[in-house]
């Protein structure tokens, strides 16, 4: 009977995004990293065999199995298993690591992004916000990846507390795609990043930073 591994790939990296493990941990990082690299070079639509042998040695003999891997339906997680010894696991937080080769399954078709942001003394003065419009081919692959990887399209609504912060920070994002526009208003992004443990604010921060770099 194999083990079940739940793996956060960032745990193998230092603050500069470089490998920070040695010995046995380095071999494990290399093994899981090879799974991520293979799937993100040529993303499969279903679970498939990857060119990687199982690393287990049941009864001190090398397992003859080959790793099968793919993307977990409905998420960005990678799931893998060995059909011979039943070793298996789930890999998350692999995006933008050194093993991420940029390929994804079924990236969203985004036709236009309108991003308005800035600092205001009065919430009613939102006409003064800076506006960035990205249309058609101008929407870069990196931005689409950020929206996809952070699962933003299903998060329309208003977030944050407009009663804190002086001046008030506002980020307004409208994403046009085949499923209809996704509209998000986020108040005091910087404050909420430090004041809560909500992953949503981290995800939105990544998307906003990707747009700012465009």
pLDDT tens-digit map of 158-190: 998 888 878 999 999 999 999 899 999 999 988
- Enumerate the domain spans of the chain: 4-92, 112-212
State the SS3 of 123-159: HHHHHHCEEEEEEHHHCCHHHHHHHHHCCCCCCCEEE
pLDDT tens-digit map of 79-93: 999 999 999 999 999
Reported confidence tier of residue 1, pLDDT bands at 50, 70, 90: low
Task: Give CA–CA dist 196/202, Å, rounded.
Answer: 10
Query: Residue 121 to residues 23, 38, 126, 189, 193: CA-CA distances in angstroms?
Result: 55, 49, 10, 16, 21
Which conformational region is residue 188 in: left (phi greater than 0), alpha (psi within -120 to 50 degrees), or beta? Answer: left
Q: To 10 degrees, what angle do helices 199-212 and 141-149 make?
A: 180
Give the length of the chain. Answer: 214
Look at the pTM and tell me if it is higher than 0.75: no
At residue 2, does pLDDT exceed 70?
no
């Amino acid at each position: 009977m194999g083990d079940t591994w739940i793996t956060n790939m960032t745990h193998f990296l230092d603050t500069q995004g470089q490998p920070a493990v040695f010995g046995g941990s380095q071999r494990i990082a290399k093994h899981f990293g090879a799974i991520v690299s293979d799937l993100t070079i040529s993303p499969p639509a279903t679970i498939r065999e990857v060119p990687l042998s199982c690393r287990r040695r049941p009864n001190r003999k090398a397992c003859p199995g080959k790793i099968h891997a793919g993307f977990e339906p409905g998420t960005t997680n990678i799931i893998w298993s060995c059909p011979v010894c039943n070793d298996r696991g789930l890999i998350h937080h692999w995006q933008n690591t050194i093993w991420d080769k940029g390929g994804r399954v079924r990236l969203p078709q985004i036709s236009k992004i309108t991003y308005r942001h800035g600092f205001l003394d009065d919430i009613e003065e939102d006409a003064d916000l800076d506006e960035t419009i990205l249309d058609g081919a101008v929407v870069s692959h990196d931005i689409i990846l950020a929206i996809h990887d952070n699962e933003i399209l299903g998060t329309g609504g208003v977030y944050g507390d407009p009663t804190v912060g002086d001046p008030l920070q506002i980020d307004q994002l409208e994403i046009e795609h085949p499923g209809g526009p996704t509209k998000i208003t986020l108040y005091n992004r910087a404050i909420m990043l430090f004041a809560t443990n909500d992953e949503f604010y981290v995800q939105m921060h990544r998307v906003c930073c990707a747009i700012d770099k465009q």
